A = this chain, B = another copy of it.
Amino acid sequence: MRFAVAQSGGPTAAINASLAGVYEAAMELSKKFPEDPRFCSNTVLGVLHGIQGLLEEKFIDLNDSLSDPHKLALLKKTPASALGSCRFRLPKAEQDDSLYHKIRQILEKHEIDVLLYIGGNDSMDTVAKLSKWLLEQGSPIQVIGVPKTIDNDLVGTDHTPGFGSAVKYLNMTLQEILRDCSVYQVQSVTIVEIMGRDAGWLAASSCLLRHNGESAPHFIYLPESEFTVAQFLNDVREALKTNRCVVCAVSEGVKPPDADLFRSGANDEFGHAYLSGIGKYLEKQVQREIGCKVRSVELNIMQRCSAHLCAYTDLIEAERCGMRAVWLAHDGQSGIMVAMKRGEHYDISYDAIPASEAANSIRTFPQAWITPEGNQVTDDAIDYFLPLIQGEVYPEMSNGMPLHFQF
């Protein structure tokens, strides 16, 4: 069987563990069925830069590097998509299926039986559309999705690979920021802006600090909760009465109705609007309305690519999701996405759901886990998040620096 595997969407710290899992399972399958002509000599081609690279026939044979156990191990710990990525949406086949024909042609030319696509909502859209079209065309080529996103907003899976390591990074960093901003005697407010344009899972996960005995973050603001600048200022004022240092975790996706100016309020010298994020905006509000020391911190792409201390649970799950996809292919499935189900004692099983369910949908943070005040999350959220960050994976170091795998 010839597999092609591609990565798509934003990078994570765990997406390469899924890639490694795909390769490992394909090799395992060959060993398991030495007599079966279909599986006895599996090949895994890596597609560079997702569907876009596929259209340009950018294939590499993963065996060239990953047959080396050291390189395979290194790949699992290396952040960001080693195969490269793309931001690309297939048009609707009903409107124009020329690209679909081209993809099929290329897959057939390279004798590919299964395309595995590691990605988020948009990638599952590709999996759903392409698998449906291929089926309708009578093609036996299978397309299977492997979930990944630090946003944790994929429908149908308990959580997503990559999220756990992002949660761990966020909480460790917030804890360090809390140590840092607590050293002075003056009152201060620290606003940390956290990724999550449509769903507040990552920002919400900062509640784990509370479980770890920390007082911060004092407030957590999510796109799922009602949030106004007025409420924010009231919250902060109130908290400053009893806390020297107030730390707020703010999801980048919050949209305070009383701050519609915040992305268009000012222009730079060229007349371009300042794209000031919500963190910077709230910093200015505190400066103006409260007047105490205030700082905003944007964790930027470090949230998704930091890998010098990953969650072991996350990397293992990412790997198993990749492996599961290969086994689902072996079972003849297509148009599905690997999904994790959580058992009673966090025993994860690796299931599958139709990719169309995950495509273009957003799973938001549960309203039931947001406090009535809309500025914190409940202990149920802690129970949900805590297992995801367990265990540590440290990088392999050489001469004081991490070693990264590169194709």
A-side residues, CB < 8 A to B, are: 7, 11, 49, 52-53, 78-81, 84-87, 168, 171-173, 175-177, 179-185, 208-209, 211-212, 261, 265-270, 272, 274, 276, 284, 287-288, 295, 297-298, 300-302, 304-309, 311, 386, 389-392, 394-395, 397-402, 404
Contact = CB atoms under 8 A, between A and B. Distances in A.
Contacts of A402: 172, 175
Contact of A173 (B80, B212, B302, B311): B302
Contact of A297 (B269, B274, B301): B301
A285 to B, nearest CB: 9
A232 B205 CA distance: 40
B397 A394 contact: no
A120 to B, nearest CB: 14
11 contacts: A7-B183, A80-B180, A85-B184, A168-B401, A172-B308, A172-B401, A266-B269, A268-B276, A270-B288, A311-B400, A390-B400
Contacts of A209: 401
A183 B87 CA distance: 10
A210 B173 CA distance: 26
A49 B300 contact: no
Given A11-B179, A175-B404, 14 more contacts: A49-B183, A84-B184, A84-B185, A168-B400, A176-B305, A176-B306, A177-B302, A179-B404, A265-B268, A265-B269, A266-B266, A272-B284, A308-B309, A392-B400
A301 B295 contact: yes
A391 B398 CA distance: 9
Given A266-B266, A401-B175, A180 B305 contact: yes
A400 B53 CA distance: 38
A311 to B, nearest CB: 7
A332 B272 CA distance: 63
Given A267-B266, A392-B394, A49 B175 contact: no
A401 to B, nearest CB: 5
A78 B184 contact: no
Contacts of A306: 173, 176
Contacts of A211: 399
Contact of A177 (B171, B265, B274, B301): B301
A401 B386 CA distance: 10
Given A300-B298, A386-B400, A183 B288 contact: no
Given A185-B49, A295-B301, A79 B180 contact: yes
Among A301, A308, A386, A400, which residue has the most Cβ atoms of chain B within 10 A? A400
A82 to B, nearest CB: 8
A307 B176 contact: yes
Contact of A184 (B86, B276, B308): B86
A234 B353 CA distance: 51
B180 A11 contact: yes
Among A172, A180, A308, which residue has the most Cβ atoms of chain B within 10 A? A180
Contacts of A87: 184
A401 B265 CA distance: 40
Contact of A53 (B171, B185, B272, B284): B185
A387 to B, nearest CB: 8
A249 to B, nearest CB: 15
Nearest to A180: B305
A220 B30 CA distance: 49
A261 B265 contact: no
